[in-house]
Chain A
Amino acid sequence: GENVEQHPSTLSVQEGDSAVIKCTYSDSASNYFPWYKQELGKRPQLIIDIRSNVGEKKDQRIAVTLNKTAKHFSLHITETQPEDSAVYFCAASYNYGQNFVFGPGTRLSVLP
């Protein structure tokens, strides 16, 4: 089955700097890769996703890149703000199946 690794487990950055979180997956059949943000005491919420036919996707300060050959994808947050502090989860999934596997999470702290 699919296995998703995520690094780093914790990340601290200064406000205004960029943050990068990386995930690797094992199943080459995976073709859908969402990222979730979970604030303390709240539910995970989708922030951006990418499908395997696209190499990069941007939404304002957030971007995701996908390297299918190397089987890894990354979340990039630019101009970080204190409200970006949260736990971020990546996931990998594929069509026609129920396989939807989450990474272990990255705790991001943006220091003022």
Chain B
Amino acid sequence: NAGVTQTPKFQVLKTGQSMTLQCAQDMNHNSMYWYRQDPGMGLRLIYYSASEGTTDKGEVPNGYNVSRLNKREFSLRLESAAPSQTSVYFCASRSDTDTALGPQHFGDGTRLSIL
């Protein structure tokens, strides 16, 4: 049982390049989330998905797009990377059924540097 898997673990991009961060969970959770964490800071929500086919903006969505491909997978895309998007990106999933409201489970993160 792998939990939440993120790829890649590390990535260096040049300004203006695009890339997609992948996330998959095997816990059959409905809700999935993307956060960014800047050095010494807390977690800021970029986008979330309450269920397959739905996505909603979080606190800092500008410059990002997401796709909930199916129940397992939730990807984050940077269309034109900027140095301000240098950060560690965490994907999380959560059980949120009526009788099983639970914590978020996090992946190991993607460390993204934009030059």
Residues of A within 8 A of B (CB): 31-32, 34, 36, 42-46, 49, 51, 89, 91, 93, 95-96, 98, 100, 102-105
Contacts and interface: CB of A to CB of B under 8 A. Distances in A.
Q: Which of A44, A96, A102 has the most B CB atoms < 10 Å from its CB?
A: A44
A91 B109 CA distance: 19
Given A32-B101, A104-B42, A105-B42, A98 B56 contact: yes
Given A31-B101, A89-B42, A104-B41, 9 more contacts: A42-B108, A44-B43, A45-B106, A49-B103, A95-B101, A100-B94, A100-B104, A104-B42, A105-B42
Interface residues of B, number: 20
A49 B108 CA distance: 21
Interface of B: 31, 33, 41-43, 48, 50, 56, 90, 94, 96, 98, 101, 103-109
